[in-house]
Structure 1
Amino acid sequence: MDEMTTLRELRADAPVPDRSALAAGRQRLVEAAGGAAARRGVRRLRADWRVAAFGAAAAITVAAVLGTQLVDSAAPDRSGPASTTGTLRLDSPAEVLNRAADALEKQQAAPEPRDDQWIYTKTVMAQPEGSGFGRFSYAPDNWVPYDNSAAAKNGKDDDYRTARQVYRAANELPADPARLLAEVRSFYPTGHTPESPPEPEAVHSFRAMGLMVEAYPIAPRALAGIYRALATVPGVHVTDHLVKDAAGREVIAITRKEDGTHQQREILIDPTTFGYAGQRFVVTEDYTLRLSSGKTKLPPEKFKAGQITLSEARVAAAVVDAEGEKP
């Protein structure tokens, strides 16, 4: 019996913990991958990623394989993916995101969910092969009330917004990209203390826009405006070939190097529908990370360019009438 099977059996009867309870451990993993500068903005990854809960054994697995290399297996395709607007060349973020916006603006929006409805999502997290644990994936189902006012009032996270708050705020965003970016930054504010210092404007914009893109549900026209503004954020790029998400799907990666770190953050978009597909953190250059815990020095971790340190894919999302209901 391999170690991964043993871990699964050990927690077979354990309840799945709330995602917010595991956020701190996930934050520490990202900080380790990104270095000291990442800590200025990583506090907000608790909300950015909205990670489905791992469970205690899975969290141990993540820590154990964090340094294992996982490089994109998708071969570069310079001809571009097929999409609802025809062949799409991955030359520039403006080309990709504006074409995506054009397609979204032709879609009809569904009615806004009722306050008593729930948002169902299914998220896949994957770990690389090559570790002693083998390949690991986790795909939890999650239900959150559309009007989750109680959680918002209880300060679940500095960046936590209910689905209803995000849906309505997105619908009210201005068309002008600069004004839209300013309003989204205000909606997801940056830090203002020595422990959580302010982010540079471009860093703040990309983080906040990532949260908006990830939101579900969001009206197509609102998402179109967000894409057009996202293309104007300084430092934003598009990978010139499709990449693999945690579910193994080929997707478009809209990227920005995390200031002061050795990694980039990627917002993943479906190349056909232009909907949100997931997020990744990818190492941009070879480097060695040296950590210590008190007086104890830990063995250095070596990271290689192209290595994926964190990856998540949303494989299902729907509005349902009750917790536990699936579409």
Structure 2
Amino acid sequence: MDEMTQLRELRADAPVPDRADLAPGRKRLTDAIAGRSRRTLRLRADWRIASLGAVVAITAAALFVTQVVDTSDPRQSGPATVAGDLDLSSPAAALGRAADFLERQEVPPEPRADQWVYTREVDAASENAKALEEMPDEVANRLIPMFEPDQWVRYDDKAAENDESDTDYRTARESYRIAAALPDDPRALLAKLRETFPTGDGTNGETEQKDEHSFRAVGVMLESYPLPPDALARIYRALATIEGVGVTDHLIRDASGRQVIAVTRSRDANTRSEVLIDPVDYSYAGEREVVSRTHEVTAPDGIKSTTVHKRGDILIDIARTKAAVVDAKGQKP
């Protein structure tokens, strides 16, 4: 039996959802995704809350899509170039090894003001949306792909840099220079990143404790491209010092199927956040949100639905597969 047939039969007995019930959830989802081209370089503390709520609303109202998780043991087939060198026994060991490698790399020239930053991402949620497009209208209500995988942003974006309405956003040039100036001392470095990417006060985003705030701020900084390799090394050493940070003792598979290092920290009692790192060149490789405890989630106001998130379910799964500095928008390396 093919996968689409299994998907259709999974909830064949479920009542057909009314379009009016689905519309609010879809609008929340598309609104949350609308600013994604900027998300490469910023992430408000409340972004995940809004987007996850929208996804829950739609999946609960329409149908539940089970993500197929690769159950093979990556320890048996890790990248040959580094399999013998990886030390995933602790965050200090794994990130220290990454920092040592990066500190030996030559620092390339800063990009020119007229250049562009190109990134390509794979989003597992977008792949699910594409699969749902093949299903009947009355069942799936057609979730469109959430974002374009290829993105280009100006390295020197004066208009965005001078826009004071969004205090979290940093252009590629700003991020590069902030990273280059980060101190060696991990505590001072984390304090600088918390200042750069502030937490909410309860009205404009959730309030975070210091270590939670530090982990998120590091994650936002790591999404920036490019970063000087010596600066990336300092960030990794600081990341290893955050209370509650762990590392998965084996490589995991990201949304694109690659095997990557997962640096983890509990987000709350039910979920954990993961920063993904390429085990070959130690570049930023993406992010995941994974359910750590089975629990129920109630849809946002206006949608009467509850869904169950099971331990091991992946809520967010984004892989960065390419990143480069190019000379023009639309150009690919």
TM over 0.5: yes
Question: 1:79 offset after TM fit, Å?
Answer: 9.9
State the 1:137 CA deviation: 9.7
Residues 134, 249 of structure 1: CA spacing in aligned structure 2 closer, same or farther, 3 A cutoff? farther
- 2: CA distance between counterparts of 1:304 and 1:199? 25
1:125 aligns with 2:123: yes
Match of 1:105 in 2: 103
**Superposed CA offset, 1:208-253 (max 9, x none):** 0001112100010000000000000011000111111111101010
- Summarize the alignment of residues 150-169 of structure 1 with structure 2, pairs less than 5 Å apart: 150-155=159-164, 157-169=166-178
Q: 1:42 Cα deviation (Å)? A: 2.6
Out of 242, 256, 267, the position equivalent to 2:251 is 242
Aligned partner of residue 199 in structure 1, secondary structure: coil
Question: Aligned-residue CA RMSD in angstroms?
Answer: 3.5
- Cα pair 1:243 1:250 within 8 Å, conserved: yes
Q: Which residue of 1 aligns with 2:272?
A: 264
The equivalent position to 1:319 in structure 2, one of 303, 322, 325, is 325
Matched, 1:24 2:32: yes
Q: Name the structure 1 match of 2:39.
A: none
Q: Which runs of 5+ in 1 are unaligned?
A: 5-20, 28-39, 50-58
In structure 2, what is the Cα distance between the partners aligned to 1:238 and 1:81?
Answer: 18
Q: Which stretch has the larger CA shift, 194-203 or 273-282?
A: 194-203
With over 3 angstroms needed to count, the CA separation of the structure-2 counterparts of 1:271 and 1:283, relative to structure 1, is same
Supply the distance in 2 between the matched residues of 1:255 and 1:244 (Cα, whole angstroms). Answer: 14
Counterpart CA distance in 2 for 1:232 and 1:304 is 30
Aligned-partner Cα distance in 1 for 2:177–2:133 = 44
Alignment deviations for residues 182-233 of structure 1 (CA, whole Å, 9 cap, x no partner): 1111111112354435310001000000011121000100000000000000
CA contact (8 A) 1:90 1:240 kept: yes
Distance 2:49 2:225 in 1: 17
* 1:277–1:66 CA distance, 2 compared to 1 (3 A): farther
Report the equivalent of 2:304. 297
- SS, match of residue 265 in structure 1: strand
Cα-to-partner distance string for 1:277-316 (whole Å, 9 max, x where unaligned): 111111111112233534x521x21111111111111111
Letter in 2 for 1:273: D
TM-score when scaled to structure 1?
0.76
Q: What is the 5 A alignment of 1:112-191? A: 112-127=110-125, 140-155=149-164, 157-191=166-200
Residues 34-82 of structure 1: CA deviation (Å, up to 9, x unaligned):
xxxxxx9333789xx9xxxxxxxxx978995676344343415289765
Counterpart in 1 of 2:213?
Answer: 204
- 8 Å CA contact retained: 2:118, 2:325: yes
Identity of aligned residues (%): 48
Q: Structure 2: which 5+ runs fail to align?
A: 8-28, 36-43, 52-56, 136-144
The 3-state SS of whatever aligns with 1:228 is helix
Q: Give the one of 61, 86, 89 matched to 2:87.
A: 89
The one-letter amino acid paired with 2:118 is: Y
Matches within 5 A, 1:271-282: 271-282=279-290
Q: Distance in 2 between matches of 1:122 and 1:322?
A: 15
2:48 equivalent to 1:41: no
State the secondary structure of the residue aligned to 2:322: strand
Q: TM-score, normalised by structure 2?
A: 0.74
Q: 1:314 to 1:85 in 2, by over 3 A?
A: same
Q: Is the 8 A contact 2:98 2:233 kept in 1?
A: yes
**Segment drifting more, 282-291 vs 236-245:** 282-291
Is 1:285 equivalent to 2:293 in the alignment? yes
